[in-house]
Structure 1
Amino acid sequence: MIAFTPFILTLSILAVVFGGAIPQRRSDDPICVGQKTVTVTAPAASSSPVVQPPLGDATQPVSYGNSSLSTSDSSSGFPNISIPPKPYSTAAVSPSSDNAISNSSGYENSLYFTNWGIYGANYQPQSLPASKLTRVYYAFASFGSDGKVASSDPYADLQKHYPTDSWNDVGNNAYGCVKQLYLLKKQNRQLKVILSIGGWNDSPKFPAVASSDTARQTFAQSAVKLVTDWGFDGIDIDWEYPENAAQASDFVKLLGELRKQLDAWTAANAREYHFLLTVASSAGPEHYNVLDLKAADQFLDSWNLMAYDYAGSWDTTSGHQANLFPNPSIPGATKYSTDKAIKDYLAKGVSASKILLGLPTYGRAFDMTAGLGQPFHGVGPGSATLQSPGLWLYKDLPRPGATELYDKTANASYSYDPSSQELISYDNVASARQKGMYLKQKGLAGSFFWEASGDKQGTESLVGALSQELGTMNVRSNLLNYPTSQYVNIQNGMAGA
């Protein structure tokens, strides 16, 4: 979901070979996924002096710790916005009912989990903070030129044996991440697992498939078969990006066919259940203005707005990679903004209640720079497991010697080291909570993160911070009954597990 340079794109293609948890890019453009922002109080005491930001009154020091923002009422740092009431069900979700349905309008807190993350990053499904999530997006399934959707890594998806897996099971059984995700669903009935199809590497295949009636039908039917074989709860389409009116029309047709096939399966096998259909969508007007957003909206449950990668190595000046608002005093640092993208989506007919605000669990570096909006020279090495220059996992930040700062106009956090002149744009706990407040004020559906292996644990977890800020979560239960699955253990609901 990250906008990579050609060099990074090459590394991303080799992700499984090298075993690195490389964030999957969703656009060669600087616009793709989203980051968040927050105001926080400076620490009461510090063992090191606070470094003043290079651009004076545009920024202020930021620390970990408790946010100074109030989340108990409609007042906030955002003018003329009030938080609408969010109706929800307080009914408990019964873990014993395979098709238990509880209506809820609580918030979504979602996380992309990659099948290549089990290698170099050593991030396994059991590490997912399931109790704090309502959705896990499993990335990525692939597809052929004929439209047939299939596993992109059979070993990671279905074959890897974890310590609790037996080698003596009878019949055709699912193992790997698929089994572990199903077990998480059994233990956390609010958790839906959604199969994400495509990604940057497979996106060039979409135009031909989507333009053919036969290939569209094959795509939809095989995608639904994979979802129901694996015991998942829906489909996410990551096409980066439709480039013209014809492709935009085909995109809508593809979504319509997927909705039709998903509903056909539930009508025959789980009449009261609703499979989710979502898309990863750009925050760049050069991409979303191509789409017929209103036509697509009728088929979708969520738009996963990739509100990050606004700045990076492709630029000539340093900038915020996921700011909420523009900062007119530093125009070179805020060429894009999340707020503008959301306003445009709403104006074009997208339902606010379907938008998930995306946040990154990584930062983008700018080396040898005097500050925001200033020229830079290089981006540095980045985190070792990413093998992508200039990309730092959130859990590796801030870097030693750096001070976290906050641009209160743009609502964006970053760090700066005056000795090395390294600036890194990323979200921290404080900015995550601010974005949570923002999405509530806007009446959005919730949030998602790209991707699981980059987050910290405990009180510094971004996923945890959003869960706490959002409060009421959507407790609509998942599905556990898949009578048509080809895998014995999924068909029998992992009996005894």
Structure 2
Amino acid sequence: MGTPTTFISLFLILVILCTSTVANGDHPDHAKPSKGIRAAYWPSFNSFPASSIQTSLFTHIYYAFLLPDPATFKLSITSDDQTKLPEFIGSLLNLTPPVKTLFSIGGGGSNATVFSEMASTKQSRQVFINSSIEVARKYGFQGVDLDWEFPANVVDMSNLALLYKQWRNSLDEEAKACGKPRLLLTSAVYYASEFQVYGGPRSYPAGAISKYLDWASPMCFDYHGSWENFTGEHSALYDSKSNISTNYGIRSWIQAGVPAKKLVMGLPLYGKSWRLRDPKVNGVGAAAVGVGPGDDGILLYYQIVELNAQSNATVVFDKQTKSYYSYSGTTWIGYDDVRSVALKVRFAKSLGLGGYFFWALGQDKDWTLSQKASNAWKYGG
């Protein structure tokens, strides 16, 4: 385990930071829009330019991702980040209406062991926290987001609670010392509050999440995929046969004690594909003999729309899961489309959630789903 040899005091970092520099709608005109969080992640490793984001459809945009150095736990700003971070902020500053910006630390491809080691001591947590504040202030972000996928055991979860508390206290102190608005603190989390995959049985620290985070973002997708030999809706709103659904996951968070208004529900802009064993057996749960087209069976929404048109696929709205699937020959794709996105956003509103987020920008088709979700949230359309 790599641990820092010297402790960077919060007082010193505060001194340094305080001196740093920093669409179309289908709604009635008279309707009063509902407030809330309409967020999306911008993958810095993809080619979609931040300058092309339609900010009218969002309130918060995440830069994804930064990673902690495995030896020091300070954020590692790569040469690409050194170029893309100021470009990202600069592009969004020039867009109207304005959005708030956060950067996300971690992601699905990150090393969970590094986060476990970082969170294990007060000293290493503080080095990580100070670095996050320094980067946010240097580049002009309004918040920071943790995407630790995933704390592996009870000890990790206990340390995660300590990290949230220490981080929030540091953000409060830094804002007071600098006379600046406090940085937002958010965290992407598993779709359910309790789980036993990617490790042993454990629960997220609901009390710490409720007290110290501005909001938590359950990732309500990837329920099914290439590891299974049957088709499935990877972002099913409901599932009568299991607890693998957004309805179960979100309600588990509320039951655990996290206020609904502090939950921001994840929506995917991509689908999952399989190769059917029998083209004539093509419903949800049909036998499959491997993945279909895409990157390991993953197709972005705009690719799905184009493939459906090219292959003259049959498109079905699945009433049970409130999702879509299409099939053509042996190709089967499960995904969200306009109707299912609207239903899921209305579900979030009906439970009093704080909002929703998309993974990820650049995957939509002419902003179709982003527009529908925004209208459904703001106007119920």
Instruction: Give the shorter-chain TM-score range.
Output: 0.7 to 0.9
Instruction: Say whether residues 1:340 and 2:253 are aligned partners.
Output: no
Instruction: Say whether residues 1:318 and 2:242 are aligned partners.
Output: no
In structure 2, the residue matched to 1:255 is 164
Whole-angstrom CA distance in 1 between matches of 2:164 and 2:94: 29
Whole-angstrom CA distance in 1 between matches of 2:232 and 2:259: 30
Shift of 1:257: 1.7
Cα RMSD after superposing both structures: 2.3
Shift of 1:445: 0.9
In structure 2, the residue matched to 1:39 is none
Instruction: Say whether residues 1:269 and 2:178 are aligned partners.
Output: yes
Whole-angstrom CA distance in 2 between matches of 1:454 and 1:282: 22
Q: Is the 8 A contact 1:109 1:463 kept in 2?
A: no
In structure 1, the residue matched to 2:325 is 414
Shift of 1:429: 1.5
Runs of 4+ in 1 over 3 A off after TM superposition: 185-190
Q: Is the 8 A contact 1:325 1:409 kept in 2?
A: yes
Q: 2:39 aligns with which of 110, 114, 117?
A: 110
* Paired residue type of 1:389: D
Shift of 1:335: 5.6
Alignment of 1:341-356 (within 5 A): 341-356=249-264
Shift of 1:263: 1.7
Instruction: Provide, for residues 179-232 of structure 1, a one-character-per-residue CA deviation record: whole Å limited to 9, x for no partner.
Output: 342441354464111110011323221111100111100000000100111100
CA 158–114 in structure 1, closer or farther in 2 if over 3 Å, else same: same
Instruction: Say whether residues 1:448 and 2:357 are aligned partners.
Output: yes
Q: Is the 8 A contact 2:230 2:288 kept in 1?
A: yes
Shift of 1:128: 1.4
Whole-angstrom CA distance in 1 between matches of 2:58 and 2:379: 11
CA 224–177 in structure 1, closer or farther in 2 if over 3 Å, else same: closer
Shift of 1:177: 4.1
Whole-angstrom CA distance in 1 between matches of 2:75 and 2:365: 33
> Per the alignment, in what secondary structure is the counterpart of residue 217 of structure 2?
strand
Whole-angstrom CA distance in 2 between matches of 1:259 and 1:190: 25
* Paired residue type of 2:35: G
Shift of 1:434: 1.1
Instruction: Say whether residues 1:126 and 2:51 are aligned partners.
Output: yes
Instruction: Say whether residues 1:233 and 2:145 are aligned partners.
Output: no
Q: Is the 8 A contact 1:364 1:391 kept in 2?
A: yes
Instruction: Provide, for residues 124-154 of structure 1, a one-character-per-residue CA deviation record: whole Å limited to 9, x for no partner.
Output: 1112121211010111111123221122x32
In structure 1, the residue matched to 2:19 is none
Whole-angstrom CA distance in 2 between matches of 1:470 and 1:462: 12
Shift of 1:270: 3.5
Q: Is the 8 A contact 2:274 2:293 kept in 1?
A: no
> Per the alignment, in what secondary structure is the counterpart of residue 241 of structure 1?
coil
In structure 2, the residue matched to 1:149 is 75
Whole-angstrom CA distance in 1 between matches of 2:185 and 2:96: 21
Q: Is the 8 A contact 2:56 2:97 kept in 1?
A: no
Mean Cα deviation higher: 399-408 or 179-188: 179-188
Instruction: Provide, for residues 344-403 of structure 1, a one-character-per-residue CA deviation record: whole Å limited to 9, x for no partner.
Output: 111111010011111111110011242221210111230xxxxx2211110011322212
Instruction: Provide, for residues 321-357 of structure 1, a one-character-per-residue CA deviation record: whole Å limited to 9, x for no partner.
Output: 0111113xxx4xx661111111111111101001111
CA 177–125 in structure 1, closer or farther in 2 if over 3 Å, else same: farther
Shift of 1:289: 4.5
Q: Is the 8 A contact 1:143 1:202 kept in 2?
A: no
CA 262–182 in structure 1, closer or farther in 2 if over 3 Å, else same: farther
Whole-angstrom CA distance in 2 between matches of 1:185 and 1:221: 25
> Per the alignment, in what secondary structure is the counterpart of residue 262 of structure 1?
helix
Shift of 1:294: 2.1
TM-score scaled to structure 2, two decimals? 0.83
Q: Is the 8 A contact 2:51 2:91 kept in 1?
A: no
In structure 2, the residue matched to 1:281 is 189
Q: 2:377 aligns with which of 465, 470, 480?
A: 470
Instruction: Say whether residues 1:404 and 2:318 are aligned partners.
Output: no
Structure 2 unaligned spans of 5+: 1-24
* Paired residue type of 1:309: D
Whole-angstrom CA distance in 2 between matches of 1:236 and 1:291: 16
